[in-house]
Chains A and B, each alone.
With several copies, the nearest count.
Chain A
Amino acid sequence: MARQALDLFDEGFQELTPSEFFRKNKQMLGFSGKIRSLTIVFHELITNSFDAAEEAGILPEIKIDLKRVGKDHYILRHQDNGPGIPEKYIPKVFCTMFAGSKFRNIQSRGQQGLGCSGCVLLSQMTTGKPVKVISGTRENGELRGVKMSLKMDVKKNQGLILEREDVEVEGTGVCIELHFKDVSYSLSEQGAYEYIRRTMIANPHAKIVFNDPAGNRYVFNRASDIVPPLPKEVLPHPWGVTADDLIFMAKHTEKRRFRSMLTSNLSRMSAKKVKELEELTGIDLNKRPKDMKWEEAERIVEAFKKMNFMAPPTSGLIPIGEDQIEKGMREILDPEFTATVTRKPKTYRGGIAFIVEAGIAYGGNSGRLVGDQRKAEIMRFANRVPLTFDAGSCAITEGIKSLDWKRYGIRDLESTPLTIFVNVVSTNVPYLSTGKQSIAPEPEILHEIRQATMIVARKLQKYLRKKKAAKEEAQRARVFETYVPVIIKQAALLAEREAPDYRELLDKVTRRAKLEILGESLNE
């Protein structure tokens, strides 16, 4: 018999908090697989520390201890020297999902709002342990320290303070301690160690000391003393907004007129442009933002596409820089040769600005050690963050592999001791999938990746050529000394004559060969 709707709903309907939801769907936070889960944790914590320190104008320094206390069971201690978290924000930062820094159109390292609280959720789900936090902040010049022990109340999506005490701290910064089970520390390309190593190449201004579970202490020293400038918020470019964006803006703006909302919320939007827009669409832009209808927003977006605008401002993009990349590579890879390039800003999809940087390192510890042979490795970065998964489909991989490396004197890319570094910088990196681990092959981005890689490859080629030439010179002289006497003897035997003196001939050809190698013209 058919049942009534109201009964069914009264029995079975409920609302979930974000924490409850992700407790059931942790793979949506990237936590799938033991190795990957731990790498994601490192990523979230390091990224947060870097962002916090840089925003406060501090050179980042992080100390990480990872202890293994059982099979797939670890304790992670992560300490930074950032500005610290004010006491009242601590529960939110660590125990509320979807809480974090504001969404802004800004070049940013990570996802927003899921990072730290996601790690706490994973810890609590696998071990039931609370998170321990020590935060040191400076308030009006005075150093304050607080130590807390917190649990996440999943049903309420908020933190539950278990313990709290004032402590003495030596400086500002956050130290957190988390327990994990069902994760695994690995030295593989997808593992936590490699994540740190790559992070250090792209962030030579940082210092990380890492004590691994086997008792090894790795000190990644700072190769540069310059705090990278803070990326500025950039207003969206008219070519990059959707109707939904305009309506969303209109709903939350404080401006009284739609026209003033446009000029203050979009870049490259002058009064002249507003007038042009008004003529093109026939819409009265003097109306209040709240009165803007969807159809009108759609017409405005259509009109934007037909209008000419200056390219979007690129002041918001902060590349690592050629010198800094080189410093990073030299520090970490100790290579025989490096070359780096930072390209000029370009745009994709009509209006989104981006910058591509590339570096190449040859010899030394460059490349990936397979058995006792070093093979080429590709290090992919987006806004200085290493991309470790889904390499196959990434624009960086595709761009690099599509080059004809033979043209750069590298016969077999795979088995050359080479590290190729590419960093894509943008306020809006087009990721291919949820996990933000690979970059979509937008034609303009692919083009820039190829260009940048070609530039550094060409410099490597020059170096390799010079090296080879020196070796050849010696070889050639040896060839002549071996064969000339033999040939003269055989010619004499054939002609049934005496062999002539050939010392002059030998001198001549040896000297000639030397000039040839140097590429100088031969005057005979």
Chain B
Amino acid sequence: MNRREIAINKLKSLGDMILEDVQAGKIPKIKVPSRGTSNIIYDENRRHYVLGDRYGTRSLGNVKQIKKIGQMLYTANFCKDLVARQKTATLRELYYISEGWEVDFADQQESNIVGEDLEVTLGMTREDLGLMPEEDGASVYGELTVREGDIEINALRSGKSGYNISPTIDEVEFVDHDVERVIAVETMGMFHRLVQEKAYKKFDALIVGLKGQAARATRRFIKRVNEELNLPVYICNDGDPWGFHIAMVIISGSAKLAHVNHQLATPDARFLGVTASDIINYDLPTDPLKDIDVLRLKELLKDPRYRDDFWKVEIKKMLKIGKKAEQQSFSKYGLEYVVDTYLPEKLEAVENQ
């Protein structure tokens, strides 16, 4: 069975379950795995967050829950139709479509929650159910050929901004490649710098421009190139708590998406970004840590995803020096420095560990 058939069957069984309860004289209930913080657990083996086994119940006999069941079933029918017709819709469209329903959504927030309820209840990603995020994925540049339907695309021949990862990345097939590693960078400024300085050639790499916090499609793409093509992934971000965390969400997934981390996290990806040690060793231009930065760094120290010695040492060092630095600050030494000097040194250190 392909993903599509699985989705349709799971949706149908949700309806079945309700009808069976009614026929058995029972009050129908839907068990929805809990997404509360206490049910989000860090899985040591899988190296990312997963949902625990606690769940909430939506009972048809509960005046507060019955409306949610109605919304959930309507949404399920809508998704079944999308998947059957091989279409997608945004959450915004789902919200507007509900106008015609007998139990519509009061606001976007409410429809988002019901969409997520459906994801966790069925154990499917929203993409599997045809619900696409609006956000665009990252830009990719380098010797990689993919197929979307009947079209082949070469990410070295897609223009200076490269190949753009679309939300439907799971329908994309990897056809061919000639690279040895993936280097993802936080900003498009750095992406263009790497393209301009021909880093893709110099390091036999796919360059990925994350555009800040990585979209779901980007994380799925990175996981797939890592697992399907066996490429090591390096994430090259700013030296501040946000840069660290953008990398860590790619590596170990987020708590909020614990129910789909197994499809999104790339536990073997490595952080190659600016560290507190780099700040000292390369004498980088810095900004002082703001209160919020300090707070965030201290939170990271308690986060199970940062339990490696590497992180502990670097976070503590950053707190000690009280400074942060951006990737682009290497241009203090000239525009080419980051590709000519910094990245080779870092790559060598990491790959020869």
Across the interface, A497 reaches (CB within 8 A) one of B19, B76, B77, namely B19
- Judged by a CB distance under 8 angstroms, whether A493 is at the interface is yes
Min distance, Cβ B342 to any Cβ of chain A, angstroms: 27
Cα–Cα distance between A491 and B66 once the two chains are bound (Å)? 13
Would B12 and A490 count as touching, CB distance under 8 A? no
Mind listing 28 A-B residue pairs with CB under 8 Å? A476-B63, A479-B63, A479-B67, A484-B60, A486-B102, A487-B60, A488-B18, A488-B22, A491-B15, A494-B12, A494-B14, A494-B15, A494-B76, A495-B12, A495-B16, A496-B15, A497-B16, A499-B19, A500-B19, A500-B22, A504-B25, A505-B22, A505-B60, A508-B27, A509-B60, A509-B61, A509-B66, A513-B61
Q: Which of B54-103 contact A (CB under 8 A)?
A: 60-61, 63, 66-67, 69-70, 73-74, 76-77, 80, 102-103
Min distance, Cβ A81 to any Cβ of chain B, angstroms: 61
Quick one: closest B residue to A505, CB to CB?
Answer: B22
Quick one: closest B residue to A478, CB to CB?
Answer: B63
- Judged by a CB distance under 8 angstroms, whether A512 is at the interface is yes
Min distance, Cβ A516 to any Cβ of chain B, angstroms: 8
Would B70 and A493 count as touching, CB distance under 8 A? no
Q: Is the interface of A mostly helix, strand, loop or mixed?
A: helix
- Judged by a CB distance under 8 angstroms, whether B129 is at the interface is no
Cα–Cα distance between A479 and B12 once the two chains are bound (Å)? 26
Min distance, Cβ B76 to any Cβ of chain A, angstroms: 5
Would B15 and A495 count as touching, CB distance under 8 A? yes
3 cross-chain pairs, A with B, having the tightest CB-CB distances, nearest first: A494-B15, A495-B15, A490-B73
- Whether A492 touches B15, Cβ cut-off 8 Å, given contacts A509-B61, A513-B61, is yes
Min distance, Cβ B16 to any Cβ of chain A, angstroms: 4
- Judged by a CB distance under 8 angstroms, whether A480 is at the interface is yes
- Chain B residues within an 8 Å CB radius of A480: 63, 66
- Whether A502 touches B22, Cβ cut-off 8 Å, given contacts A492-B15, A509-B61, is yes
- Judged by a CB distance under 8 angstroms, whether B51 is at the interface is no
- Judged by a CB distance under 8 angstroms, whether B23 is at the interface is yes
Quick one: closest B residue to A501, CB to CB?
Answer: B22
Q: Which of B1-26 contact A (CB under 8 A)?
A: 11-16, 18-19, 22-23, 25
Would A487 and B77 count as touching, CB distance under 8 A? no
Interface string of A350-386 (1 = CB under 8 A from B): 0000000000000000000000000000000000000
- Chain A residues within an 8 Å CB radius of B18: 487-488, 491, 495
Across the interface, A496 reaches (CB within 8 A) one of B12, B22, B60, B74, namely B12
- Judged by a CB distance under 8 angstroms, whether A13 is at the interface is no
- With A491-B28, A499-B19 known, 19 other A-B pairs at CB within 8 A are A480-B66, A483-B70, A484-B60, A486-B103, A487-B66, A487-B70, A491-B18, A493-B15, A494-B15, A494-B73, A494-B80, A495-B12, A495-B16, A496-B12, A500-B22, A505-B27, A508-B27, A509-B27, A512-B61
- Chain B residues within an 8 Å CB radius of A508: 27, 61
Quick one: closest B residue to A508, CB to CB?
Answer: B27
Interface string of A451-493 (1 = CB under 8 A from B): 0000000000000000000000000100110011011101111
Min distance, Cβ A507 to any Cβ of chain B, angstroms: 11
- Chain B residues within an 8 Å CB radius of A499: 19
Would A500 and B61 count as touching, CB distance under 8 A? no
- Chain B residues within an 8 Å CB radius of A500: 19, 22-23
Counting chain A residues whose Cβ lies within 8 A of the other chain, the interface size class is 20 to 34
Count the A-B residue pairs with Cβ separation under 8 angstroms: how many? 83
Residues of B bordering A, CB below 8 Å: 11-16, 18-19, 22-23, 25, 27-28, 60-61, 63, 66-67, 69-70, 73-74, 76-77, 80, 102-103
- Chain A residues within an 8 Å CB radius of B66: 479-480, 483-484, 487, 509
Min distance, Cβ A125 to any Cβ of chain B, angstroms: 55
- Chain A residues within an 8 Å CB radius of B11: 494
Min distance, Cβ A307 to any Cβ of chain B, angstroms: 56
Cα–Cα distance between A492 and B14 once the two chains are bound (Å)? 10
Would A495 and B19 count as touching, CB distance under 8 A? yes
Quick one: closest B residue to A509, CB to CB?
Answer: B61
Cα–Cα distance between A500 and B13 once the two chains are bound (Å)? 16
- Chain A residues within an 8 Å CB radius of B103: 483, 486
- Chain A residues within an 8 Å CB radius of B23: 500
Cα–Cα distance between A494 and B11 once the two chains are bound (Å)? 7
Would A493 and B77 count as touching, CB distance under 8 A? yes
Cα–Cα distance between A486 and B102 once the two chains are bound (Å)? 7
Quick one: closest B residue to A506, CB to CB?
Answer: B60
- Chain B residues within an 8 Å CB radius of A483: 66-67, 69-70, 103
- Chain A residues within an 8 Å CB radius of B69: 483, 487
Cα–Cα distance between A484 and B28 once the two chains are bound (Å)? 11
- Chain A residues within an 8 Å CB radius of B19: 488, 491-492, 495, 497, 499-500
Min distance, Cβ A382 to any Cβ of chain B, angstroms: 48
Cα–Cα distance between A500 and B24 once the two chains are bound (Å)? 11
Quick one: closest A residue to B75, CB to CB?
Answer: A490
Cα–Cα distance between A495 and B103 once the two chains are bound (Å)? 19
Quick one: closest B residue to A479, CB to CB?
Answer: B63
- A488, A494, A500, A509 — most chain B CB neighbours (10 Å): A494
